[in-house]
Amino acid sequence: MVYIGLESEFTLLSFWGTVVLGIWGAILLSFGKRLPQLTVGSFFLTVGFFIAYSRLSAVNYLLVIAAAILVLAIGIAIYNYVPRLGMAIAAFWPFAAVYGAYRFFEGWMNWDFGIAIPLMIAGVAMGITFPNISLAILSSALATILLAIALPIESTFWMVLVIFLAGIAWQLLILPRIPILAKWWLSGNTTSSQDKGKQTVTTVKWGAIALITCFILTAFLAPQPDISESRNPQRFNTLSERGELDNPGFIFSNEDAYYLFNRPLPVSLVRKENSFWNRFSVLIFGRSARKDIHQVRAIKDTDELETLRKAAAITSKAFETIAPLIRPGVNEADIEAEIHRVYKENGATGRAFNCIVGSGANAVKPHYGFNDAEMSEGLVVIDIGCSLNNYASDMTRTFAINGEPTTAEQHLLETVLAAADSARAHLKAGAKMSDLHRRAKAVINDAGFGPYFIHGLGHHVGLNVHDPYADSLTAGMVLTIEPGIYIPAGTAEVDSAYWNLGVRIEDTYIITDSGYEEITHYPKIPQTVTAMKVSLLFP
């Protein structure tokens, strides 16, 4: 498989955006401590922008910009007049973010707040006690995020950690010892109250200039696709008829652009009618149609449903093929390789996501992805999905590595299956995803494993394996049901027989007028070849 998901089309805007992020990150990584206005301003402007965008972009982009600048003004004023308080606010997150990155790359889906909260408190304390050192930490953390986005390689935890620590070491230990820079680097900040006021105004001014410049460049460089390029113009016309595209707006999603225009553009400009003047009017009247697009995209048309059925059939075939391979001594990587072979031989055009083949202790990590351990005992959770013509599939089964599950393993498998059955019994148009989750959660709670169901019950599937979410279900929607239980070793609340056991059972469903259609097919509690041989000998 060559690619994962939907590959973005190259555009000049995305290229220059990557360059700007890379330069911004490199400056922060190298000189962030000595450029406190840039470092702290970057933090408050970024936080302000994303909060404002999530709340106000559907109304008007100018409101987003105004709110982001307001957050920047407040944050940088606090920092300039009460620097220790400003650093306490800005530095609460880097240590916790490193821990979160570790959990994410290891395959966990939740934080241990007993660790995360003390790390946040440590960041606040560092900001108050050692504001200058905190500047180096903050700038390195911001730079690491920017560079991880900009670098054209797949990030790993150790790559992220090395960039973060290298930035801190460079700024605190190396640069101060470079003769030509030492005097500039070590000079103190003794600005007066009047100068602090000027610094605040200057920082807010340059932050506003940077944000508005990016807005204008996006307006004039973003591709404006033509509806004639679409394979299915009705999708675009539906939005137009509802008035959702009367105002111009940006689409920051290659899946949304592909859905409307058959072009996976990372950024595009859309309006009911194409015109060069849209690039001017978006600056004043622009608003995001993202939520409106997602409402239409959530309900699949006939062609989409057929493609999703075929993708699900290929993934189901993969489970039939790998079942005989599951036994002690086989490496997780061998299972993954066989899955990819089945994808290719059966016409899949890619992977919806990286395979998850987690055995033994790895099974308790829902998004484990290293796939390099030798299977020995316990359970193996296999979560896979191919992509067919850019549409995803998703399916999970849990196998007993030794063939016959132990009493504890069988109990977990049956509990998870009962949770899925409880939700599936109410799966129909008009149902709510949140209600289905509560029903499944109640079953797992009653069995005594409630704290170990650590993710949502399911998600929508389409161009993305995690397609736009809609709580209320309608005929034509496609979603998964995937309850799971994950019990790490050392869990005091449960018997040690359950330690290092992880179970997930996942299938994909189409909501119909009369109920649902299940499109993934393989026994929900599968038997390995070893178990099947035993059952034949001792019926």
User: What is the per-residue burial (b if ≥16 Cβ within 10 Å, else e) of 433-449?
Assistant: beebbebbbebbeebeb
pLDDT, mean of residues 155-182: 91
Quick one: what percent of the chain has pLDDT higher than 70?
Answer: 96
Per-residue confidence (pLDDT) for residue 26, from 0 to 100: 97
Per-residue confidence (pLDDT) for residue 405, from 0 to 100: 95
The chain-wide mean pLDDT, for the chain, equals: 93
pLDDT value at 537 more than 60: no
Tokens for 393, please give them: 């599939």
C-alpha to C-alpha distance for 462 and 196, rounded to whole angstroms: 52
User: What is the per-residue burial (b if ≥16 Cβ within 10 Å, else e) of 192-222?
Assistant: eeeebeebbeebbeebbeebeeebeebbebb
pLDDT value at 111 more than 90: no
pLDDT value at 533 more than 50: no
Per-residue confidence (pLDDT) for residue 440, from 0 to 100: 98
pLDDT, mean of residues 115-122: 97
Element (H, E) at 415: helix 407-424
Three-state secondary structure call for residue 299: coil
- Range of weakest confidence among 41-55, 102-116, 500-514: 102-116
User: What is the per-residue burial (b if ≥16 Cβ within 10 Å, else e) of 246-275?
Assistant: ebbbbbbbbbbbbbbbebbbbbbbbbbeee
Per-residue confidence (pLDDT) for residue 176, from 0 to 100: 86
pLDDT digit string, tens, across residues 16-40: 999 999 999 999 999 999 999 999 9
C-alpha to C-alpha distance for 458 and 485, rounded to whole angstroms: 14
Per-residue confidence (pLDDT) for residue 189, from 0 to 100: 55
Per-residue confidence (pLDDT) for residue 530, from 0 to 100: 46
- Range of weakest confidence among 128-137, 169-178, 319-328, 409-418: 169-178
pLDDT digit string, tens, across residues 253-303: 999 999 999 999 999 999 999 999 999 999 999 999 999 999 999 999 999
Per-residue confidence (pLDDT) for residue 529, from 0 to 100: 47
pLDDT, mean of residues 81-107: 96
**268-270 and 395-400 as β-strands: parallel, antiparallel, unpaired?**
unpaired
Per-residue confidence (pLDDT) for residue 532, from 0 to 100: 42
Dihedral, CA of residue 317, residue 355, residue 382 and residue 160, to nearest 10: 180
Per-residue confidence (pLDDT) for residue 153, from 0 to 100: 85
- Give the pLDDT band (50/70/90) at residue 192: low
pLDDT value at 382 more than 80: yes
Per-residue confidence (pLDDT) for residue 228, from 0 to 100: 82
- Range of weakest confidence among 20-24, 95-99, 185-189: 185-189
C-alpha to C-alpha distance for 229 and 224, rounded to whole angstroms: 11
Per-residue confidence (pLDDT) for residue 191, from 0 to 100: 55
Tokens for 446, please give them: 């009653």
| Residue reference for tokens 């498989």 | 1
pLDDT, mean of residues 325-345: 97
List the one residue out of 26, 268, 5 whose CA is nearest residue 143: 26
Per-residue confidence (pLDDT) for residue 195, from 0 to 100: 85
- Give the pLDDT band (50/70/90) at residue 3: low
DSSP secondary structure letters along 101-166: HHHHHHT-SS--HHHHHHHHHHHHHHHHH-HHHHHHHHHHHHHHHHHHHHSSS---HHHHHHHHHH
Per-residue confidence (pLDDT) for residue 196, from 0 to 100: 85
| Residue reference for tokens 């301003």 | 41
List the one residue out of 301, 411, 392, 307 whose CA is nearest residue 353: 392
pLDDT value at 445 more than 80: yes
pLDDT value at 539 more than 50: no
Dihedral sign (CA 21, 25, 31, 34): positive
Per-residue confidence (pLDDT) for residue 528, from 0 to 100: 58
Measured from the Cβ of residue 462, the count of other Cβ atoms closer than 10 Å reads 24
